[in-house]
Amino acid sequence: MSKLDRKKELKQAYKEVKVEGGIYVISNKENGKKFVASTRNFKTLNGTKFMLETGTHTNRLLQEEWNQFGKDAFEIERVEILKNKENQYVDDKKELEKLLQKRIEQLQPFEENGYHTKRN
């Protein structure tokens, strides 16, 4: 097999990889606090871990406790996978937002329970 054929084969395989998105929770095992978020592609969780490890995560409280307790005190878990709709007109972003709001309502990750601030 030539290099060009191999490259085409790898490209095609990459295109066929199913992208999974959904809701994930970062839990502090020391104090039970939770951070709930959504992603259109769970592969981006590596980037989230990288941000936390380099001190650049956008959630200041989560970042502070990550620095304080260390990465071993945290668990990142996929809690809900966005179902692929047959209808191509379904907006994944809106569906993720609905799932996220539902999970936040359920977990109430505010104040001593989490890293979110309540919207009034």
28-86 confidence digits (pLDDT tens)? 999 999 999 999 999 999 999 999 999 999 999 999 999 999 999 999 999 999 887 65
Sheet with strand 22-28: strands edge to edge: 34-39, 22-28, 74-81
Q: Does the predicted model carry a pTM greater than 0.75?
A: yes
**Which residue segments constitute the domains of the chain, with CATH numbers given?**
20-113 (3.40.1440.10)
CA–CA separation, 89 vs 105, rounded Å? 27
What was the pLDDT predicted at 22?
A: 95
Closest-CA residue to 77 (of 115, 22, 19, 30): 22
The three-state secondary structure class of 99 is helix
CA–CA separation, 22 vs 42, rounded Å? 7
CA angle, 54 then 31 then 57, to 5°: 20
